Amino acid sequence: MARTLITHHLILELLKKYRPIWSLNHLTALAHWDMQTYMPKDGIEARGEALSDAATLSQTLMCEPAFAALIEKASRENNLNEYEQGIVRMLLRSLRYYRALPPEFIAEFVKTTNDANPVWEKAKKTNNFALFEPSLEKIVALARKKAEYLGPKFFTQIATDLGAYAIHVRQQGITGQLVRCAHNAGLLVNAFVANEQKDIVRLVNLGVDGIMSDFPERLWWIKQ
């Protein structure tokens, strides 16, 4: 049935060229499943190195100039059905993602999260979550760095690709740059959850369009 839904020659060519990347991603998913089930503890380090290599190889294949050009060409095609449009959206999102992140960062992120897995399992088993704190600090720091690499435009582009009219963001992550980027893309910005007066004032000054709070009475002054 899926084959009959995809008939445009550009999309068929894209899927053919995407097949090696799909295969790598599929094997990566199996490796993560194996990590959670059968893999001996001594195999964690080697598995992390293999997953890092697979992730950077996927990036290389996705950003290969001829393949990237084909994705961009398909994005300008007007005669695509909704299934074909969805394929192009997903490939464009992956292309923007991989173009924004340095290969060494991708490798570091994958290896760090891989190495943290047995630590997390031990922390749960022993009910000693302090064991996981150093790993969590590394992951959070890398996640922040990833957000910096991607920038607000990456996230607002996802919203516009999906036809959204607004984005809903944790108030701690809202910056002036994000608000400006969203508004330039025609998107509203709604913040959640702001309960402290200083946070509410900050969000108003940034120009958000909506604020969600557990104490709505603290927001009444905004309309005055």
Average of per-residue pLDDT across 37-55: 83
pLDDT > 90 fraction of the chain, expressed in percent and rounded: 83
pLDDT of res. 1: 44
Residue 2 scores a pLDDT above 70? no
pLDDT of res. 36: 73
Which distant-in-sequence residues (6+ apart) come within 8 Å of 6 by Cβ?
Answer: 12, 15, 83, 84, 87
The residue ranges of DSSP E strands in the chain, in sequence order, are 166-170, 188-192, 210-211
Residue 205 scores a pLDDT above 80? yes
d(CA 40, CA 118): 10
Query: Which contiguous run of DSSP H or E holds residue 114?
Result: helix 103-126
Q: Which residue has the tokens 């946070």?
A: 199
Angle 63-175-224 from CA coordinates, rounded to 5°: 145
pTM of the model: 0.84
The band of 46, judged by pLDDT with boundaries at 50, 70 and 90, is confident
CB-based contact 67:84 (threshold 8 Å): no
- CA-based nearest residue to 142, from 105, 117, 192: 105
DSSP tag of 219: G
